[in-house]
A and B are shown apart, each in its own frame.
Chain A
Amino acid sequence: MTLEAFSIEVSSLDQKCEALRQEVREFLAVHLQNRPLREKAKNWSAADPEFSQQLGHRGWIGMVWPKEYGGHEKTALERYVVVEELLAANAPVAAHWPADRQTGPLILKFGSEDMKRKILPGVARGETYFCIGLSEPNTGSDLASLQTSAVRTDHGWVINGTKVWTSLAHSSHYMVTLVRTSKGEKRQAGLSQFLIDMKTPGIGIRPILSLTGDHDFNEVSLVDVEVPHEAMIGEEGDGWKQVTAELAFERSGPERYLTSSQLLLEMLAMSSVNDPRQAIELGRVVAGYATLRQMSLGIATMLSRGENPALAAALVKDLGAGIEQGMTELAHHLFDAESAPIGSSLEEVASYTTQLAPSYSIKGGSREILRSIVARGLGMR
């Protein structure tokens, strides 16, 4: 049966994980007091380096990595618990998030021994941050069409091009870029990944304000940026393969359904048990959360065993974006201007989340692309 390609394991968390959950909750209760509502509503796109360092100090970054690289050799499910607790509490994790979620695992898998020793311990301490340079002005969903090039010299490589939608480039220490190192017959063939120190001469950062007025995105220009040979991650020409493996990590995590949580909490606070319409609609969200949580947990388990559930991850991200975006519409349907007047907590969070929501089905793989991936998995493409 073709649907078997999308099978997700049913997994559960043991006592050790639940004990860790308590620890995280106690930590967050102390460290996340009195945050402005808007910061909470930003969920995992809020950055706070100091908070990241505190997490690093507790051993909650790079949890599954080997100790020799600064990791803590915990299980993937222990990491899952920490991650979901951080997200559910709307913790400001953005500074270290891409590093912990995908760049760290990428370097661990494909990076040189030197790179691992030099970079990963700082990441695990919550001190070293990454941004990810994939998209370009003329390259969005069609990633293989990218133009940024690296040309080999005696000392290393010279990189030229422009990356865009680069989250937190302005506060990151390194950027992991995907660039063209040769023009092969297949567009995917000549791509390679580099780790670029953001202090390297020739890098320019221009902020792109989002419609909420927040500064998250940037355009990063690379003009004759010289990097040493050792800056290449993995093998020359393997960039495409490495990036697609990395995306399974990006697409299946609990951040793919928990982003609108603050809005759900505000709605719950304003709802009445005596209003069946509110109970039914919020009950549907609860069922959706519970289901996506199990799917996400199942994929984490499969990833930890070295399986590549990329198809299932695409499917979970699409479902998750649906529930996240549905939340703003639900707030609109259930609460009008009278029950949630301007200035109320619910209105503030709903207004902000409504403006963030369109990006949920774009970043990390657009809805159309994810569904195409699923269709390919079904043998239709």
Chain B
Amino acid sequence: MTQSMISDSVQRLFAGLVNTKTLLQMERDHWPDELWKITETSGYADVLVPQNKGGFGGSFLDAYEILRSAGAHSLPLPLAETIVARYMLSNIGMDVPQGPITMIEQGRQSEIELMTVGNVLQVKGKAISVPWARWCDWLMVHASLKGSGVLALIQIKDQSKVSITKRENIAKEPRDDIVFDGVVCSAYAPITHSFTEPIWGLGALTRSMQIVGALEASFDMSLTYVSQREQFGKPLGNNQAVQQMLAVMASETAAAKMATQVAAMCTSDTTALFDIAVAKVRSGEAAGRAAAIAHQVHGAMGTTQEYGLNFLTRRLWSWRREFGSDAHWAEKLGSATIAAGSENFWFGLTSRSIL
């Protein structure tokens, strides 16, 4: 399947299944079970799982098409997290379980400790703002065990040693707090990845992909709205002031898209972490600027719950904060650039080796 075929089929699927009603139900703490089952059966969550392990064997550019579409339709499922988790698990030869998976990086919005007790690995500690935790069967954690990296899988559903406090982001997507009270991991394995904190980094990359989709969809809504809505006897879009705002929105979207596509193409290269940082900074900046313009050109209509724009803009405001905000990743880029010295700036930029 080519990327445009994936894009077409995933667009059709999500467009047919996700609507205002589905989204509002999710916001009222209702797990869209049917939607999950159809999505999981379709195989999209296995896009990065190798074919010999029953997956699609795709690239991060394929994942980009899927998650961009998920972003455009505000898909109320932990698809990004499950795609990354199944990728990482299968990549190091661990069994990939069915059902939704969430994930945390040790030390990032979490204070956890891994310890071996007899033959088993236990997890103690807490994590905050864990995406979709209350509805996930599994949680994947990347952490350090006696100085080496391990990837561990924990069954968190109906688990007495895991307590979950419900919280949510601006889009009312579940972002729960979790306490681990010596819960035993179902499986774990050593992992080396081409960059440190792979869950944090790949989480940021997938959020950038979702942001691109939400930017494109909110742009389309805005353009359609200003073409149809008439004031002073002409469409709003006939006014230069409105045209110039949409031009800026198009530019921001194009920049976010470019940065994210580059990062999606280079996930296994030595430039991966730099590319991801650039993508999260640039998509995060675009998210804020574009959401402001989308609302401005929609007038009061855009501020209502009934009109669909808010589902996109609330996600833009949420996703730009998750797996590291644009400021977080900018600080990483900036301090590494300053530390390298101004005379090495251009070399670092062209070789994309600043991080």
Contact = CB atoms under 8 A, between A and B. Distances in A.
Contacts of B285: 284, 287
B251 A276 contact: no
B124 to A, nearest CB: 31
A381 B259 contact: no
Contact of B254 (A271, A287, A295): A295
A127 interface: no
A265 interface: yes
A291 B251 CA distance: 12
B254 A283 contact: no
A202 to B, nearest CB: 40
Contacts of A329: none
Contacts of B275: 290
Interface stretch (A3-11, A49-57, A95-103, A211-219): A3-11
B334 A278 contact: yes
B280 to A, nearest CB: 8
Contacts of B332: 283
Contacts of A375: 240, 243-244, 246-247
Contacts of B189: none
A282 B334 contact: yes
Interface in A317-375: 318-319, 368, 370-372, 374-375
Interface string A272-296: 1100101111111011111111110
Contact of A368 (B216, B244, B281): B244
B282 interface: yes
A76 interface: no
Given A273-B339, A287-B277, A280 B350 contact: no
Interface stretch (B35-43, B307-315, B322-330): B322-330
Interface stretch (B80-88, B101-109, B166-174, B341-349): B341-349
Given A2-B220, A371-B244, A380-B246, A283 B329 contact: yes
B212 to A, nearest CB: 11
B337 A282 contact: yes
Contacts of B339: 273
A107 to B, nearest CB: 31
B261 interface: yes
Contacts of A21: 350
A69 to B, nearest CB: 30
B252 to A, nearest CB: 8
A30 interface: no
Interface in B214-232: 216, 219-220, 223, 226-227
Nearest to B266: A12
B63 interface: no
A265 B250 contact: no
Interface residues of A, number: 52
B253 A286 contact: no
B135 to A, nearest CB: 32
B306 to A, nearest CB: 25
Given A315-B251, A371-B247, A374-B250, A293 B338 contact: no
Contact of B352 (A279, A290, A319): A290
B125 to A, nearest CB: 26
Given A378-B246, A380-B243, A380-B246, A293 B349 contact: yes
Interface residues of B, number: 53
A368 B247 CA distance: 10
Contact of A265 (B251, B262, B335, B345): B345
A88 interface: yes
Contact of B250 (A12, A298, A315): A315
B333 interface: yes
Contacts of B254: 3, 6, 8, 295, 312, 315, 319
Given A268-B337, A279-B335, A371-B244, A284 B250 contact: no
Interface string B257-291: 01101100100000000110110011001000000
Nearest to B342: A268
Contacts of B5: none
Contact of B330 (A280, A318, A370): A280
Contacts of A279: 330-331, 334-335, 338
A10 B254 CA distance: 12
Contacts of A282: 334, 337-338
B181 to A, nearest CB: 35
B237 interface: yes
Taking each of A3, A89, A281, A370, which has the highest tally of chain B beta carbons within 10 Å of its own beta carbon?
Answer: A3
A269 B251 contact: no
Contacts of B329: 283, 287
Contacts of A2: 220, 223
Nearest to B340: A268
Contact of A291 (B282, B326, B342, B354): B282
A271 B329 CA distance: 18
A278 B216 CA distance: 31
Given A283-B331, A284-B281, A375-B244, A298 B345 contact: no
29 contacts: A1-B216, A1-B220, A3-B253, A6-B250, A84-B350, A265-B345, A268-B338, A268-B342, A269-B341, A271-B338, A273-B339, A279-B331, A279-B334, A281-B330, A283-B333, A283-B334, A284-B334, A286-B337, A287-B285, A290-B278, A290-B352, A291-B255, A293-B349, A295-B258, A315-B247, A371-B247, A372-B244, A374-B247, A375-B244
Given A290-B352, A295-B255, A375-B244, 13 more contacts: A3-B220, A21-B350, A264-B345, A278-B338, A280-B327, A287-B282, A295-B258, A318-B248, A319-B254, A371-B243, A378-B243, A378-B246, A380-B237
CB-CB nearest 9 A-B residue pairs: A283-B334, A283-B330, A279-B334, A283-B333, A375-B243, A287-B281, A268-B342, A371-B247, A374-B247
